[in-house]
Chain A
């Protein structure tokens, strides 16, 4: 009985979450669309730039270039996910539900 109730609650909650996310995407659909591509490019630019800077400073070419290239790519995708999941562009966002 309890399990069934839990399932129902989970289902209702997941539905609610999806609908909220959908709304925030629809609301500013065009502006979201134009943000997507540049976010990925900017991640790569900053990642590669930072990697090169650190390499020039520590003379470790190409170690940090490689590390920061991937970090930059990941940051781009990560930011995109934050945007599309309806959490805006908030940096420092991390699963808010965990705190409660």
Chain B
């Protein structure tokens, strides 16, 4: 029987090497490309024949759009509108990546920390640059808010700097750990079914228990897939808000 973590192995599909680096096209890259293509197709086909009274397909596209649009409006505040395309692309990329990973025999690229940390660092560096450009040196008051006694500065400033640096770590670890743990758990329970059915007697009948667990976990994983895409983009919105308005 295959190990439950074997599903996360990266397989090279098209070997490419440039400047001494291995930049092969792998199964993870394939599903990233697929995520972009499928989400674009979904959005394009949904609004291709748009009518005033939308059918189900069109209205699901519109729901997603309005959902993210409201999220940006509520969490970024004024001046957030020009970042909407970025947030929406990010949301769709992660959502479709997570959901494509739910198809049997497919690959969940968000279960790789290198993918999530890259996304998180792009956001972190981008947001910091936006704040620096917008507020210049005033940005550093972010680490020492007004109204705090000066005596607290040696303690509070390191803590605030750590809090700031924590952002990309917690953002990436959250998505990666959720996907990794969920998919591993599903495989472990699925493996239990096979193990128990090959046993004899009472154990064989007991195989129905892990089967029920797998059914439940599959539902839970769909929830987690959507929820984590939401959490990732809403936190990006909050970071953007902090960058634009400081406090």
Contacts and interface: CB of A to CB of B under 8 A. Distances in A.
Interface residues of B, number: 35
B216 interface: no
B145 A35 contact: no
B166 interface: yes
Contacts of B146: 99
A52 to B, nearest CB: 13
Interface string A44-65: 0111001000000000000000
SS of A interface (majority): helix
A90 B174 contact: no
Contact of B170 (A38, A47, A95): A38
Contacts of A42: 166-167, 169-170, 173
A34 B147 contact: no
Contacts, number: 92
Interface in B133-191: 141-148, 158-160, 162-167, 169-170, 173-174, 177-178
Interface stretch (A3-11, A12-20, A74-82): A74-82
B90 interface: no
A92 B238 CA distance: 13
Given A31-B227, A31-B230, A92 B246 contact: yes
B63 interface: no
A30 B228 CA distance: 10
SS of B interface (majority): helix
B147 A99 contact: yes
Interface in A68-92: 68, 71-72, 74-76, 78-79, 88-92
A90 B170 CA distance: 15
Interface of A: 28, 30-31, 34-35, 38-39, 41-43, 45-47, 50, 68, 71-72, 74-76, 78-79, 88-95, 98-99
Given A39-B166, A92-B144, 19 more contacts: A30-B223, A30-B227, A31-B227, A34-B228, A38-B170, A38-B177, A42-B166, A43-B162, A45-B169, A45-B173, A46-B166, A46-B169, A47-B162, A90-B242, A91-B163, A92-B247, A93-B145, A93-B247, A99-B147
10 contacts: A31-B227, A31-B231, A31-B234, A34-B178, A46-B169, A71-B158, A75-B163, A76-B166, A90-B247, A94-B147
